[in-house]
Amino acid sequence: MKNTFFSDMYYPSDRQELEKLCSVTPLEGHTPALVLLPHAGLDFVGGLYREAFARIHSPRRIVLLSAIHGEKMEDDASSSLFTLTSDDMETPLGPVKIQAVEGLKVNDSYAEEEYALEILAPYVALNCPESVLMPIFASLSTKEDIQALTRVMVRLKKEDNDTLFIISGNFTAMADGRQVNQMAKTLNELLENNAPLLDAGGKGRISGCAWRMLEAARTAFPGHFRVIKARCGAYYGDTISQDADGRIWQVFAIKD
């Protein structure tokens, strides 16, 4: 059984309290091919997760893509994509089956540093208990790294069409409000038009931990993103192009 590291830090360990955060009313329709979700404490982003899991109908496999925010370990210098050993992860809402992604380097240490997997797992345990959760931790610094992630995503989709991909990431700009909202507007336009993100990211017109993974997904899946909800500071709405009063944009978007 895998250890957990973030209980009572990013999500409550009390079963009843956590179940209230994770319970959803299912919506009709098919499960999206790709979902973009933020990572933060569930008391802050739980509403976006509930919106997402209302649309997720027990796919056989859920592939989580999470950025590595810190430095890679010295032994991992030649790799950009990592997975975990296969085992069950216990959550207050029940176990989740973790399955390693074949062909990727296994390093369980990243689960101790990155909490995206652990805050997602209770939603899977409660709403998709038969699904297998396959984690990918990504450290993408070059175009070649991004292309490698694209190839892995395409391969996994071909292996089993009943596979949902979830990108966990935020969009952050350490700048004044005007610059932050200009970045948000640029991001919104790029997603709506399925346009390349590399140039905008390289020039600082967008920022955060998600855009490189999004670029890999953009080329792996056709079609544009549909933004469902976004929040920044006190703002909470259905677009990421309006003015807001914070520095971190957290977005729930899908590709059908």
* Class in CATH terms, 30-255: alpha beta
pLDDT of residue 77: 67
The angle subtended at Cα 223 by Cα 116 and Cα 186, nearest 5°, is 70
pLDDT digits (tens, 9 = 90+) for 12-62: 989 999 999 999 999 998 999 999 999 999 988 999 999 999 999 999 999
How long a stretch of residues is the chain?
256
pLDDT one-digit tens code per residue, 152-181: 999 999 999 999 999 999 988 666 777 888
Please check the confidence at residue 1 and state whether its pLDDT lies above 80.
no
E strand residue ranges, the chain: 34-37, 61-67, 81-83, 87-91, 94-98, 105-106, 132-138, 163-168, 171-172, 226-232, 235-237, 248-255
User: Does residue 3 surpass a pLDDT of 90?
Assistant: no
pLDDT at 71 over 90: no
CB within 8 Å of 41: residues ≥ 6 apart: 9, 10, 11, 119
Longest CA pairwise span in the chain (Å): 47
The string of pLDDT tens digits covering residues 74-96 is 676 678 899 999 999 999 999 99
Q: Quote the CA–CA distance of 135 and 127 in Å, as a whole number.
A: 18
C-alpha distances out from residue 58 to 11, 42, 67, 195, 252, Å: 22, 21, 24, 30, 19
Tell me if 206 sits within 8 A of 180, measured CB to CB: no
Reported pTM = 0.94
